[in-house]
Structure 1
Amino acid sequence: MDNIKQEDIEDICFNVSQNIILPKFKNLSDNDINYKNGSDLVTAADIEAEKELKKNLLKILPTSNFIGEEEYSRNENILNFYNEDAYCWTVDPIDGTTNFANGRDKFAIMIALTFKEKILRSWIYKPLDKIMCSAIVNEGAYINNNKIITKEANIIEETIGSISTKYWEPGFKDKLKIFKNIFKEVNSYRCIGFEYIDIGIGIRNFAILSKLSPWDHIPGILFVREAGGADIDFDKNKYDFTKKNKNLIVSNSEDLNLKILEKLGEYS
């Protein structure tokens, strides 16, 4: 892992953004937009960006494995790479595809490097702003190589965040719609990478999540943890990408997670 240079990952993300992603932004043809698994949007930029990211990341670590969102849609067995005795890249080529396809500005490249159940490094790159957010386990979280620490907010009624309701069971989904009223503000960027960044910075305070696809969450989880934030599921366990987690609370602090979980229990 020591031979992975930050500037190499930055160059890869910059080049993929400039050569593949941004030329398609607000410039997608009908043929560039399709659906996978029936309802999940995918664009030609997603597919081409993932191919280029895979090629270049595997050059950095030739013996590593690669799990990409688009590749997974064709072969779900690639998740078995997490069990192998090897480094593994996990990539979402365009997090926020719906935003991207509709010309909205919140989308990002998300990359993580893991070994077995351990998250070692992560990167979230904002193509339009040319901003790199990264994290190294036990070393810290960074924005353009400047170390950051989150701001804690422990009074629930003063917090801002998001609650993902799409994939919950109907009964619990209805309870969440009522539950969200206890917070100061609840909204979604429709790009979880941006939300993880803002939780890490302290602009936002929490996210309550379901459907925990690893490429959506591994990069952001490490960023928030290294910034001083925390994560917990409804059974008070930390996020483990090698298991099929059903739910997750991510926030600026362990204390806020527990307070949210306690309040959530009152609505269950």
Structure 2
Amino acid sequence: MTTPALNTAVEAIMREASERAIVPRYRTLAACDIDNKAADDVVTVADRDAEAMLTERLAALLPEAAVVGEEAVFADPSVMERLKQGLCWIVDPLDGTNNFAAGKPPFGVLVALADRGDILGGWILDCLTGRFCRAAPKGGAWIDGTRVVARTTGEDPPVAAISTVFLDEAARAKVCTHIAPHYRLVDIPRCAAEQYPRLVLGTNDISVFNRTLPWDHAAGVLFLNEAGGKAARPDGSPYRVDEYERRDLIGASSPALWDQFAELVANMPG
């Protein structure tokens, strides 16, 4: 469904939202501009203004498509049902909000287009560097107009970005005992708009995601898979945006590295 004209239009909309609603507020937020959504999860005036702008512009671009935005869902969880009903835009207006609110990179904007669970297009903007990633099914993965192919770090052991923040104590212990010895563990960027490109650009080999909300992952999963890496559920099933209640997702810079990691996970004691 994506076309060169649609790609150009989506990129322009995302850059406008970044330049008008996000970047001018970087390191200038007042305390009243930041609210707590939950423990260790904040929202800022930039998130809200960027989502309003993106929603308006994307809805005008494809009037037949609904819009599912992160902040809209926070206000009304029933908005998620649109993912199962037909064509829809999926919007993360400011991915990496905790970083942004703390005055540090990375942070970005994520947009995807989906139809009843299937991802039709994905776009990822790094707000500070301007790096723009896009992908479409069977259309390859692109960064700033150049087609890219995922590459591994080439390191031994491979590099794994794994967060244990959302794991309980028992699960955290399993990771430390059964996974960590096989990899060089590094911190996650707390920003999917950065984490997926790292798997393509040879920075990380493995990433594990415990929460898999569609606005965080739809664009990145498509981008990584189209680049020749692999993102899938631990059982090998594909990621679908209409299965938003499921958890756990593995991303890897190559299918072989994905298989190795998934085997380790499958063989962990219950």
3-state secondary structure, aligned to 1:249: strand
Q: 1:51 corresponds to which residue?
A: 52
Aligned length: 266
Q: How does 1:107-118 map to 2 (within 5 A)?
A: 107-118=107-118
Q: 1:26 corresponds to which residue?
A: 27
**Residues 38 and 74 (structure 1 numbering): CA distance in 2 closer, same or farther, change over 3 Å?**
farther
Q: 1:164 corresponds to which residue?
A: 163
Q: 1:262 corresponds to which residue?
A: 263
- Cα deviation for residue 236 of structure 1 reads 2.5
3-state secondary structure, aligned to 1:42: strand
Q: State how far apart, in whole Å, the 1-side matches of 2:8 and 2:212 are.
A: 29
With 5-14 and 232-241 compared, the bigger mean Cα shift is at 232-241
CA deviation vs aligned residue, 1:116-160 (integer Å, no higher than 9, x gap): 1211111000111111111011110000111000114688x4311
- Cα deviation for residue 169 of structure 1 reads 3.0
- Cα deviation for residue 13 of structure 1 reads 1.4
Q: 1:68 corresponds to which residue?
A: 69
1:264 counterpart letter in structure 2? V
Identity value in percent: 29
Q: State how far apart, in whole Å, the 2-side matches of 1:87 and 1:265 are.
A: 35
- Cα deviation for residue 231 of structure 1 reads 1.9
Q: State how far apart, in whole Å, the 2-side matches of 1:220 and 1:246 are.
A: 16
| TM-score, normalised with respect to structure 2 | 0.93
Q: 2:37 corresponds to which residue?
A: 36
Q: Which runs of 5+ in 2 are unaligned?
A: none
Q: 1:12 corresponds to which residue?
A: 13
Q: State how far apart, in whole Å, the 2-side matches of 1:96 and 1:106 are.
A: 7
Q: State how far apart, in whole Å, the 1-side matches of 2:28 and 2:153 are.
A: 40
The alignment status of 1:138 with 2:138, answered yes or no, reads: yes
3-state secondary structure, aligned to 1:5: helix
Q: State how far apart, in whole Å, the 2-side matches of 1:55 and 1:112 are.
A: 15
RMSD, aligned α-carbons: 1.7
3-state secondary structure, aligned to 2:35: strand
The alignment status of 1:98 with 2:98, answered yes or no, reads: yes
| TM-score, normalised with respect to structure 1 | 0.93
- Cα deviation for residue 181 of structure 1 reads 3.4
Q: State how far apart, in whole Å, the 1-side matches of 2:123 and 2:208 are.
A: 22
2:11 counterpart letter in structure 1? E
With 254-263 and 66-75 compared, the bigger mean Cα shift is at 254-263
**Residues 23 and 154 (structure 1 numbering): CA distance in 2 closer, same or farther, change over 3 Å?**
closer
Q: 1:185 corresponds to which residue?
A: 185
- Cα deviation for residue 254 of structure 1 reads 2.1
